[in-house]
Amino acid sequence: MHRPALVRLVLGTGMLMVVILALTACGSGSAQEAAKGRPLPQDQGALRPGEYHSVKFKPPLSFKVGKGWINSGAELPDFIEMGQLGGFISFANVKEVYKPGTTDVVDAPKDLVGWLQHHPYLKTSKPQPVTLGGVKGEQLDVLVEDLPQDYYGLCGEGLSDCVDIAPLSNDEAAAYFKEVNERRVFVLEDVKGDTVMIWFAAPPDVFDKFAPRAQKVVESVKWGGS
Give the model's pLDDT for residue 26: 41
Spatial CA neighbour of 163 closest among 98, 88, 67: 98
**What secondary structure letter does DSSP report for 109?**
P
Give the model's pLDDT for residue 156: 60
Burial pattern 133-165, b for ≥16 Cβ within 10 A else e, equals bebebbbbebbbeebeeeebbebeeeeebbbbb
Cα torsion at 207, 130, 161, 85 (round to 10°)?
-30
Average pLDDT in the 17-35 region? 38
Distance of CA 207 to the CA centre of its chain: 18
Confidence band (pLDDT; 50, 70, 90) for 152?
A: confident
Query: What mean pLDDT is reported for the chain?
Result: 84
How do residues 79-108 score in pLDDT, each as one tens digit? 999 999 889 999 999 999 999 988 899 999
Give the model's pLDDT for residue 153: 74
How do residues 201-223 score in pLDDT, each as one tens digit? 999 999 999 999 999 999 999 99
Evaluate if pTM is beyond 0.75: yes
